[in-house]
A and B are shown apart, each in its own frame.
Chain A
């Protein structure tokens, strides 16, 4: 196979849990600076696909490439560990349930990985924490523990934590799904800001309005396949596939 010319390239991704096939031969490319949304109902495989990109859920078949390097290389255990840790440093991930480290302050959450992995000094870490927390509007809570923060604030700190590693790519796994409705916007705002800075992002979301306004391209997934993909105004306004129409109709009803 030729080297990939795309920034992110997923080739024939296949994933089974026992007899259950959750990803069926999915191929996908993302260019540098692009923002791709993935929508679909629960169990459609969208989170699994996202988590395959940094090999958190390893694929059973297929390849994932990032910036010319294959992520899911077949290596000996030791070599693979070294390789994947290297790759993951370049990919930020934001989870539905934040997964902040509860025994660390916002500052410590943001600086732990850079301090351990990038060999930066305490002062540099301090500057980094302020810079990243300021970016997500959480500077004044720098010494708060996660338990002292609201859901939206936690998620903003989690984004700052991911950004502190200066990733090339950001993955968002339903970043606002666990939030109270009134807290969603503050997280969306941060994500929009990243979009303006041309951060490459892959966003799994249930929020059609947000996906429509921020993404360059949206994929609709169902039962382990990409049913339809296209620019948001086409996919949301004039979907060609019946399954997409059905999903969007149900979603619209649910939102009412």
Chain B
């Protein structure tokens, strides 16, 4: 009788804990959305031109205002691109971590982004007439990089550490090659240099239009693979016993992750650590269920990358620090902390 009572109390405690978790998750989502909106408005107003919120609103929706029009043409594309690319790379990170069963996987660190970057750079430098196909070519580059990392680190299984080490080597190779192509093309073709250096200053609405459909499709596919990602978190044999073709599922989700990482690389350059940091924060705040983790990572990725870009724009005015550079400076130490924690667990 006493034992039964304790059991009930424990079940009640479980219930309460679940409820408070759900409550905090909702709060986390609301706060993240609010952060994104605030950051958007702050970012719109940073620079030599300043407009109040009401001026911005009326300039956009009511009557023409030359200041607002300039901001709309120059700052809006950049802000929207930052948000789209940040969301894409963060979700790509979640997917890679699910597929590789490796909490340290990140499209930047394991060389996917630099593979896509090299492909994009080659198109821009060697065959500028194919400019329109840059995103597709970047995706092919990303797939090649992923296959290289996967095959080279396969040794009867995938050890997390070996993937990272192989990835770093592949990343270094592709980054180096990109620099070579950049230098050989005289380094003055802004298109090439902007991909290599991760420069998003010159972005226009045309770039938004290039990025948007791919990110939209990639995100949609990512949201549709939520259940599959959760199944991959089980042991392979167990997932298989539930009727899941584990290899096919892995390939499918990898393709989505590569597309998301490659397309953002084609437009803003390789971003490191973002795809690593965001999912980790997400797991702490909303848990490891991909149904919650993927949408949250998209939001938080947008926030963090927009924040990096905004910091980059303000910290050394009138000069600018590229957002991916800011990302590396923040992300590097974060990665080291994670690596240390991971070692403690093992």
Do A and B originate from a single complex? Answer: no
Q: B-side interface residues toward A, CB under 8 Å?
A: none
Chain A interfacial positions (CB closer than 8 Å to B)? none
